[in-house]
Amino acid sequence: MIKVLIVEDDPMVAEINKRYLQDMKGFRLTGMVHTVKDAIDFLQKETVELILLDVYMPGDNGLVLLQYIREHHLEIDVILITAAGEKDKIQTALRLGAVDYLIKPFEFDRFQQALLRFQDKYLFFANHSVLKQEDLDDRILSTEQTQMEEPIIDLPKGLTSSTLQVVVEVLKAKGTNPFSTDDISESTYISRVSVRKYLKFLTQLGVLKESLTYGIGRPVYLYTLQVEKLNQVDMYL
């Protein structure tokens, strides 16, 4: 049984992560704390194999805890769960050894994928006292290489599959409610100019329906997700 600690300052998000975790076999929640300080205190008393860690919290952010774990050589793996889509935060987390990075809002399928991937590696190392190159290639390195592969079909110039994934996850959370470019920009921390390119691309695919709304000030383009056509994006992710 893999012991898990949730570090999240938002009670609602923490509860969602807890419920997701309860649906996963082979994992047990050992604690739920809301600050980095509380997490460090918890780790000094309890044994944990995996932490589901938010980045932005009151006081120190989650990367401080990740740094603490590495500096003290704790045998703990970390999956970051955050709304932060900034490249520098993701790069820092990966350099510090985060095993996965989930960007809010995400669905259970992506959460499950992250934990199953971790569980597979965890059990592999637990059950092998001696590692062979072919086993390492097949079970560990091949998975990491697959994640780095380019999409089967190229995106238009200037677009990337990772950013498209972020935008799509936000769109899924909005459901069929109309939204503007500003709405997506605020939710993803991506510039309005970049967001507009992705929304235009998704409109061309038929995934979004575009309409022009007139009110006070300049006209505003609103978009509505065509849920039944979301599979059109899969080939680019």
34-57 in b/e form (b: 16+ CB < 10 A) is bbbebbbebbeeeebbbbbbbbeb
Predicted local distance difference test score (pLDDT) of residue 86: 65
Are 31 and 5 within 8 A, CB to CB? Answer: yes
User: Beta-carbon neighbour count of residue 85 at 10 Å?
Assistant: 21
128 plus 168 within the same structural domain: no
For residues 142 and 222, the model is more confident at: 222
**pLDDT tens for each residue of 193-233:** 889 999 999 999 899 999 988 766 678 889 999 999 888 88
SS3 192: helix
89 plus 194 within the same structural domain: no
Residues of the chain with pLDDT > 90: what percent? Answer: 36
CATH number at residue 215: 1.10.10.10
Is residue 123 scored above 90 in pLDDT?
A: no
The bridge status of strand 220-225 relative to strand 208-213 is: antiparallel
Is residue 101 scored above 50 in pLDDT?
A: yes
* Domain carrying residue 189: 161-236
For residues 127 and 76, the model is more confident at: 76
How many domains would you assign to the chain?
A: 2
15 plus 73 within the same structural domain: yes
CA R_g for the chain:
20
Residues of the chain with pLDDT > 70: what percent? Answer: 87
Mean pLDDT to the nearest integer, 188-196: 87
Q: What is the mean pLDDT of the chain?
A: 84
Tokens of 223: 């978009």
| Ordered strands of the 50-53 beta sheet | 27-33, 2-7, 50-53, 77-82, 100-103
**pLDDT tens for each residue of 31-65:** 999 999 999 999 999 999 999 999 888 888 888 99
Comparing 86-95, 112-121, 184-193, the range with the smallest average pLDDT is 86-95
141 plus 166 within the same structural domain: no
- Going by pLDDT thresholds of 50, 70 and 90, the confidence category of residue 125 is confident
Predicted local distance difference test score (pLDDT) of residue 145: 47
- Going by pLDDT thresholds of 50, 70 and 90, the confidence category of residue 151 is very low
Answer whether residue 153 is part of any domain. no
172 plus 76 within the same structural domain: no
Give the pTM.
0.57
102 plus 168 within the same structural domain: no
For residues 134 and 36, the model is more confident at: 36
Answer whether residue 31 is part of any domain. yes
For residues 153 and 186, the model is more confident at: 186
Predicted local distance difference test score (pLDDT) of residue 146: 46
173 plus 109 within the same structural domain: no
